[in-house]
Amino acid sequence: MTNRLRFALVVAMSLPAATGLAQDQDWYTFNGDLKAQKYSTATQITPQNVQHLKAAWTTHTGDVSDGSEGKPVSDWSATPLFVNDTVYVGTPFYRIFAIEPDTGKVKWTYDTKAVLKAVTQPDLKTRGVAYWQAADVEAGQACQKIVYMGTMDAKLHAVDADTGKLCPGFAQGGILDLNQWNTTNNKWPLSILQPPTVYKDTLFIGWAGKDWAESFAPPGRVFAVDARTGALKWTFDALPPAYAANTGTANVWASMSVDPETGILYLPVSSPSPNYYGGDRKEQLPLATSITALDADTGKVVWSRQLVHHDIWDYDTNSAPVLVDIDKDGKTIPALVQSSKQGFLYVLDRRTGEPIYPIEETPVPQSVVAGDQAAPTQPYVAVPPPVVDAEWPGISKLADIASLGYCSRKFHELRYDGKFTPPSLEGSLTYPATVGGTEWGGGAVDPTTQTYVVNSSSTVQLYQLIKRDEYNDITRNGTPDGYYPQTGGPYGFHIETFLNPLGMPCWNPPYGTLSSYDLKTGKLLWKEPFGEVQKWGFYMPHSWGSVTIGAPLITQSGLIFIGASMDSRVRAIDLKTGKVLWQSIVDAPAVAMPATYSYKGKQYVVFVAGGNAILTPKVSDEIVAFALPAAS
Amino acid sequence: MVQARWKSVSYGAWLFLLSSGAALCLSVIDYLFAAGINHTGGVVLVIVSTAALLLAALLAIAFALAPWLRGLLNVGIFLGLLGTGFAAYLLEAPWLLVLMVVALAAWVSQLVRGTHREVRFVGHHAQPGAMS
């Protein structure tokens, strides 16, 4: 046995101990595991029997708001966790549900009693809970296993996973107030909408803010705290301290990944504020809109790679890098794959950040807005092929005719010079727009075949900067939809999706696709329109696809499970061909990532159907677990 | 003559009436319960259009309308059937679509059969007693 093989075996055997978990068919993190692979070794449900899949149980939490009863609309993107023989879900009312995995019966609930107001984000939003357990669980002792739930008002609650009672040894009586560390440009609380990433005995906590509101905002700090006590271990700042007061954010609002073999933490770092004007932050901010690798023990930067220079498009790095080893040119390379709003897939050596497939600096259109200066080049990736085309899809004849030429006329008023066209005073056509490309779910990978699958959207939006005086005039009697102040800077901002007056997209479909790539070669294996647009109940042609939010999971049996589309359907797809093998309707778009687990010999696939106002007003509080009937 | 005419329209028209009524009931059920399309504007539209078809069927059966009005009604029914069928297709409501196809077939058959009987009546009037 070679040293290398021996090392690999030791690492593989020690992995459950490192995380304190049996990994096989649990789903113990937001992304399924620490590497964010969204992959399960479960094989009970196969392409041959998946058509027999039925709802095994359905649970309604009661935590849903359509915005009509004084509460903001709910936006539920929580991945259900399965661990400790329990399904744990966090709700958009910031409650935790512990559920029996085979019946759907509620074991216990915990209420954070969070303020149900749009303190930062416009919706009541959460992406769920995190789980930690001690490496050596002491029987009869409370809080050896903890579920964590964050709130929009910056509180992180630690709750015993067996009883649902607060863990008094964690922070102040079981509640950590992240806002105690919010000391620079503290315009709003640091909303914990994304569950912390848990590695060994440490929680890594990012946060979300109030988009597009302030030019000078809280700087994007990541906090590492002790999982038992909530004590601060270290912090990481993506912005140089000297500039932090003149900008802000560059925060980590999405999930993170960890390589348990090296102890490196991978951060998707977002763009700095203000999002659409960079005149007040012309300095080099190399860690903004980047993938940054940190030593998980110390918080020191191991490497960083900026994905967008001088970001003025809100192209946040928005999902956990997916860690996978790639066999290429006779070598096994520890790699990561980063999907992006801008549509590129960055495949890097995760030890160094160096590209495995080339990244080329390419000249891009320049800004003519007074005070700003766009970066002369941006990093472009040709392999793997981007999830969206290089050029915008062009005017939809149907939408144009239906609106008596509105789309064409509007297009001719806009600035469009290709990808990375900067925001402008006359209005710029932006493709892909801030909703992607690929959103916060990112992709999934089958590590055995090194097949990477990712859903994406093809969206076109119009970005317009508005001089401060003019903006003040427009918003004097209230702020119309789509207007954002970027307070403190010289420009307000208007954003709208490029629709005709009838609400039809002015650009050609498909609006969403699902793509599969061979990471060994970087080649596209297949790309299919995904989901269906649904308006007033009418389903549009399948070839149009749907804008997608959420992400797929892959099982070893060769299936992809995914919700994500606006038609409220959940689907099983053949990993080899991309063909839909099974689908079922749920109460609202299942924009959360699904989870799969095995319990008492049965495999379940569980979807949270919560909805997201970006797709459709339809919302729900439904959790559905599907399984094969006993005879199948 | 009136009695004979009533009979001549009855077969297809009754089936049309029946399928329109069934489509109305089904669309109400879909509005309340059908997964994916319940409580949507699209189903409301279908409820309205199937109700209009039902009304049109009743009008056509119950009243001897002037030819121009009957022609207008036929055009309306034809467009209504096509539109409702297309809506059912987009709603992915297969039974509703089937009912629209049946209703269309019934209506077309009624039109065709009705015309033939009218021609035949002319012959019958030339031979009194043939009606008994």
Closest by CA position to A321, among listed A356, A273, A297: A356
Q: Are A74 and A114 in contact (CB under 8 A)?
A: no
The Cα A90–Cα A418 span in angstroms is 41
Of the residues A536, A568, A585, the best mutation for testing chain B's interface (the one with the most B CB atoms within 10 Å of its CB) is A536
Q: Are strands A39-40 and A553-555 parallel, antiparallel or unpaired?
A: parallel
Band (pLDDT 50/70/90 cuts) for residue A429 is very high
pLDDT score of B129? 35
Closest by CA position to A15, among listed A2, A28, A3: A28
Q: What is the pLDDT of residues A219-235, one digit of tens each?
A: 999 999 999 999 999 99
The CA dihedral of A161, A163, A164, A169, to the nearest 10 degrees, is: -70
pLDDT score of B12? 83
pLDDT above 80 (res A378): yes
Q: Do the chains contact at B92 and A585, CB–CB below 8 Å? A: no
The Cα A603–Cα A136 span in angstroms is 28
pLDDT score of B60? 82
Band (pLDDT 50/70/90 cuts) for residue A21 is very low
pLDDT score of A23? 43
| Backbone φ, ψ for residue A58 (5° rounding) | -135, 135
Q: Are strands A512-518 and A523-529 parallel, antiparallel or unpaired?
A: antiparallel
User: Which among B36, B42, B92 is the nearest to A536, CB-wise?
Assistant: B42
Tokens of B27: 């669309």
Q: Are A586 and A609 in contact (CB under 8 A)?
A: yes
pLDDT above 60 (res B123): no
pLDDT score of A249? 95
Q: What is the pLDDT of residues A41-68, one digit of tens each?
A: 999 999 999 999 999 999 999 999 999 9
pLDDT score of A17? 41
User: Which among B36, B41, B90 is the nearest to A585, CB-wise?
Assistant: B36
* Of the listed ranges A113-127, A408-422, A576-590, B104-118, the one predicted with least confidence: B104-118
Burial class from Cβ neighbours inside 10 Å (0-12, 13-18, 19+) for residue A5 reads: exposed
Q: Which residue has the higher pLDDT, A200 or A12?
A: A200
Query: Which value does ipTM take for this structure?
Result: 0.82
Average pLDDT of the segment spanning A447-472? 98
Closest chain B residue to A589, measured at CA = B36
- Residue spans of beta strands (DSSP E) within A385-522: 428-430, 444-446, 451-457, 461-467, 483-484, 491-497, 512-518
Band (pLDDT 50/70/90 cuts) for residue A192 is very high
Burial class from Cβ neighbours inside 10 Å (0-12, 13-18, 19+) for residue A574 reads: middle
Q: What is the pLDDT of residues B52-75, one digit of tens each?
A: 999 998 988 888 888 899 899 999
Q: Do the chains contact at A585 and B35, CB–CB below 8 Å? A: yes
pLDDT score of B117? 45
The Cα A310–Cα A132 span in angstroms is 37
Q: Which of A160, A162, A311, A314 is catalytic?
A: A314
Mean model confidence pLDDT for chain A:
94
Whether residue A80 has a cis bond before it, omega within 30° of 0: no
pLDDT above 90 (res A536): yes
CA-CA-CA-CA torsion sign (A152, A156, A161, A164): negative
Q: Are A398 and A507 in contact (CB under 8 A)?
A: no
pLDDT score of A243? 87
Band (pLDDT 50/70/90 cuts) for residue B10 is low
* Of the listed ranges A8-12, A336-340, B24-28, the one predicted with least confidence: A8-12
The Cα A591–Cα A610 span in angstroms is 7
- Cβ-based contacts of A620 with chain B (< 8 Å): none
**CA dist list (Å): B13 to A368, B52, B73, B77:** 69, 15, 13, 12
Active-site annotation holds for A314: yes
CB atoms within 10 A of CB A183: 10
Shortest distance between the Cα of B23 and any Cα of chain A, in A, equals: 17
The Cα A103–Cα A509 span in angstroms is 41
pLDDT score of B97? 97
CB atoms within 10 A of CB A220: 29
CB-based contact (8 Å) between B97 and chain A?
no
pLDDT above 50 (res B131): no
- Entry pTM: 0.91
pLDDT score of B8? 52
User: Assign residue A420 a region: left if phi > 0, alpha if psi is -120 to 50, beta otherwise?
Assistant: left
What is the crossing angle of helices B41-62 and B2-33, to 10°?
170
DSSP for A390-411?
SS---B-HHHHHHTTTHHHHHH
Band (pLDDT 50/70/90 cuts) for residue A472 is very high
Per the listing, tokens 């209420």 go with A111
- Cβ-based contacts of B42 with chain A (< 8 Å): 535-538
Band (pLDDT 50/70/90 cuts) for residue A6 is very low
How open is the CA angle A243-A246-A250, to the nearest 5 degrees?
70
Closest chain A residue to B37, measured at CA = A537
Tokens of A412: 């001719």
Q: Do the chains contact at B40 and A539, CB–CB below 8 Å? A: no
pLDDT above 90 (res A277): yes
Give me the long-range contacts of A496-500 (CB less than 8 A, separation at least 24): A496/A461, A496/A462, A497/A433, A497/A459, A497/A460, A497/A461, A497/A462, A498/A407, A498/A410, A498/A429, A498/A460, A498/A461, A498/A462, A499/A399, A500/A399, A500/A400, A500/A402, A500/A403, A500/A406, A500/A407
Closest chain A residue to B33, measured at CA = A587
CA-CA-CA-CA torsion sign (B103, B107, B112, B114): positive
Average pLDDT of the segment spanning A537-555? 96
pLDDT above 70 (res A258): yes
pLDDT above 60 (res A241): yes
- Cβ-based contacts of B91 with chain A (< 8 Å): 537-539
Give every strand in the sheet of A559-562, ordered side by side: A39-40, A553-555, A559-562, A569-574, A580-585
pLDDT score of B11? 79
Closest by CA position to A588, among listed A64, A80, A169, A212: A64
pLDDT above 70 (res B124): no
The Cα B43–Cα B57 span in angstroms is 21
Whether residue A485 has a cis bond before it, omega within 30° of 0: no
Which percentage of chain A shows pLDDT scores above 70? 96
Average pLDDT of the segment spanning A599-622? 94
pLDDT above 70 (res A19): no
pLDDT above 70 (res A586): yes
Interface size, chain A vs chain B, as Cβ–Cβ contacts under 8 Å: 26
